[in-house]
Structure 1
């Protein structure tokens, strides 16, 4: 076989190799490097076995952002505010409880019959009274008074106890006068924990202390207000709100109740941005909230040559109460009771910019922008072109 024949045979083999490489690239174009799933793949995640989208039996729900969806999410967020969950509250008043310490004074007008150890000038007359030791309210809810016996005080005001003691002394003491004073409040307290100057139990008064009063009396938050979360535990209910929201909205600065546990936590909020955005990263934001439009702005917006304007997605583990009732009733849930939801925004529509301003990003959301279909096509063309040029170069070198 001559040398030119060998070259022709080598060129033929290289040509066949180029064709095979091109076919392989065509069949495996979905395996090209990418920053995440395509728009179609994400949409397919919300399909059932019958091919229907956003049905209640889908594993992951893909929900198009609309005024109705955003309104439902806003209503749910509103329902989680302190004022809606606990009410504004009322002052507890001076009600005696177990463990409280009372200072009780009893006087009678002259001529004194029962009490004569102390003299108090009251105008023309001299009242005489007894030095009664301070009384701690026991578990039975009573205190013991000389010449009176056990007096029930639990759940009563000092004025009510005064009238009870005076009524029992009538006929035994001469014009008895009684003063009951609460000197140690153990029953009406609020516990403050976490990122405050000093964790402590704060006694409540009839003035009606509010959330910010309690935090201030404990030394205030040790972390920036915008990165601090306030949690209230009352009975079997637990709720959280950014401290910044409580400061800015007076309605959320509710009156605390006895037994409340306030926990001040350093909890900066953040979301993760991935895909065809100018900067993929974890982005912190203030507790006051962040809109989707602001989130896109903080990561530099979409990449013009790469992003699919119809493929802006927010991945979230959503509370069932924030979803449509038909979807929430039968939706599959995580162990924590959340529903995997993907919110989709079509940025090719003008109204989407208004929707992006109204939709609120939540802590731990994942913002993902998929690649445009032309990007994968361009990758395929570049791969085939590179393979073809490599074959041509080798063929030329053989020839």
Structure 2
């Protein structure tokens, strides 16, 4: 039926519409006001999960995430885990800088006899091909240690040298010549070291492979020999591969902490990585974005500051969440009852309640990690405000329809 054919007068028609809307609102508002403290209507669009959505998910049977409050105990747990992310504790100790010979090394062997020479006479020295030889004194041509770790010395035969120091090799040769030469004295030198090398690659000025010396070599020594890093130290991460062990530490941490400038071991591989670190910030903050941060890391307080802080008119200060995949070793006993992914990681949600003043101190000590997701949920009042906006818009739309239908 057309509005113009209504038998009611314009004023009565308006009153009827308003009265129905008024009664409807009186019924809806108390219900929404009560339920809005817990959740929001399912038909309303939201920016993300509410605080209750996340906490309810974590308490369900076979919950897919582990929910942990950010407090002093959690910060202590993470700090202990971070202590193991360093070269001094995380890597097996390098051997003492007492050089030992290995396959591929080049050796120079010299023998002296006490006078009168018995074995290494001037004629025999010439036959052996010694360089700079004379009666009672012979220096054999340089020879490389074979793959089975041996060398050959005239009259002494095959000598096992791998795993020995030059002094120990000299003692073995001297023992083999005893009874053949007159009180032989032996000197062994290593002009070319091929078995105890360190490799430096990655974001350095020049990739190099350098020998370890008897004096020892430290991490920063090797980086300096490679010409230093290409980018500022705050952006670089250093990785050491030692056998099956692989560990990475920010270069800034190595420079600031002398204990991280560890001694290197034979066959160590040092890789300098310019590995961008980032986290994603979502929810009721001033800036939803992917934030890049320095290799040495930032705290939760710094991350919130770089995101512009919480929005006063939207954010639930009790609902600051950090979503992260943690290794079970970080969580200790907490990992036993936690859900695990196929790769062994544990999905964890850390919650910070900024309504507690002490939480600001907790946030300064909570370390953010690469690929973290920082999420701030909307406050229930903000969701309720959305509902009121929808209702108000609906009333305004009906009022326009009534006015148009009445010919106004």
TM-score band by shorter chain is 0.7 to 0.9
Shift of 1:350: 1.1
SS, match of residue 58 in structure 2: coil
Rate the CA distance shift 1:119–1:128 in 2: closer, same or farther, 3 A: farther
Deviation at 1:30, TM superposition (A): 3.6
Where 2:188 maps in the other structure, the secondary structure is strand
Distance 1:7 1:393, change over 3 A: farther
Contact 1:315/1:341, CA 8 A, preserved across alignment:
yes
Q: Deviations over 1:315-353 (max 9, x none)?
A: 11111122250x312422223321111100111111111
1:235-273 deviation per Cα after TM superposition (whole angstroms, max 9, x unaligned): 222221111111111111111111222221111211111
Pairing 1:35–2:47 present: yes
Q: Which moved more, 1:354-363 or 1:173-182?
A: 173-182
SS in structure 2 of the partner of residue 361 of structure 1: coil
Contact 2:277 2:295 in 1 (8 A): yes
RMSD: 2.9
Partner of residue 7, structure 2: 5
Question: Is residue 2:163 matched to residue 1:161?
Answer: no
* Equivalent-residue separation in structure 2 for 1:358 and 1:288 (angstroms): 14
Q: Which moved more, 1:356-365 or 1:193-202?
A: 193-202
From 182, 185, 188, the equivalent of 1:174 is 182
In structure 2, the gaps of 5 or more residues are: none
User: Shift of residue 221 of structure 1?
Assistant: 1.7
Which of residues 306, 313, 324 in structure 2 aligns to 1:298?
A: 306
**Contact 2:108 2:139 (8 Å CA) reproduced:** no
> What SS does structure 1 have at the residue aligned with 2:320?
strand
Is residue 166–residue 188 contact of structure 2 (8 Å, CA) maintained in 1? yes
TM-score (norm 1): 0.88
1:85 aligns with 2:90: yes
Distance 2:207 2:283 in 1: 44
Local SS of the residue matching 2:59? coil
Residue number in structure 1 paired with 2:68: 63
Separation in structure 2 between the aligned mates of residue 4 and residue 294 of structure 1, nearest angstrom: 65
- Match for 2:57 among 33, 39, 45? 45
- Distance (Å, rounded) in 2 between the aligned partners of 1:120 and 1:112: 16
Contact 2:156/2:177 (<8 A) preserved: yes
**Is the 8 Å Cα contact of residues 87 and 254 (structure 1) preserved in structure 2?**
no
User: Is the contact between residue 199 and residue 209 of structure 2 (CA under 8 Å) also seen in structure 1?
Assistant: yes
The 8 Å contact of residues 88 and 251 in structure 1, kept in 2 or not, is answered as no
Residue 341 (structure 2) pairs with residue 334 (structure 1)? yes
Cα distance change on mapping 1:21 and 1:318 into 2, 3 Å: farther
TM superposition score normalised by structure 2: 0.86
Kept in 2, the 8 Å contact 1:120–1:128? The answer is: no
Say which of 199, 203, 208 aligns to 1:195.
Answer: 203
Q: CA deviation at 1:355?
A: 0.7
Task: Identify which range, 85-94 or 256-265, moves more after superposition.
Answer: 85-94
Contact kept in structure 1, 2:131 and 2:138, CA below 8 Å:
no
> For the residues of structure 1 that align with 2:186 and 2:332, how far apart are their CA atoms?
62
- Structure 1: stretches of 5+ with no match in the other structure: 50-56
C-alpha separation in 1, matches of 2:16 and 2:254 = 75
Q: Larger strand proportion, structure 1 or 2? A: 1
Cα displacement string for residues 59-104 of structure 1 (whole angstroms, at most 9, x for unaligned residues): 1111111111111111111122211122554433121111111011
Query: Secondary structure of the residue that 2:109 maps to in structure 1?
Result: strand
- 2:182 alignment partner, SS class: coil
2:131 & 2:6 partners in 1: Cα distance? 136
Hey, what does 2:374 align to over in structure 1?
A: 367
- The answer on whether the counterparts of 2:131 and 2:141 sit within 8 Å (CA) in structure 1 is no
How many angstroms does 1:296 deviate by? 1.0
C-alpha contact (below 8 Å) 1:189/1:203 kept by paired residues: yes
For structure 1, which segment, 227-236 or 373-382, has the greater mean C-alpha deviation from structure 2 after superposition? 227-236
Return the alpha-carbon distance in structure 2 between the equivalents of residues 127 and 70 of structure 1.
Answer: 75
Instruction: Name the CA distance, whole Å, in 2 between partners of 1:182 and 1:44.
Output: 69
Q: How many residue pairs were aligned?
A: 387
Contact 1:35/1:275, CA 8 A, preserved across alignment: yes
Is residue 262 of structure 2 the alignment partner of residue 254 of structure 1? yes
- 1:316/1:342 contact within 8 Å kept: yes
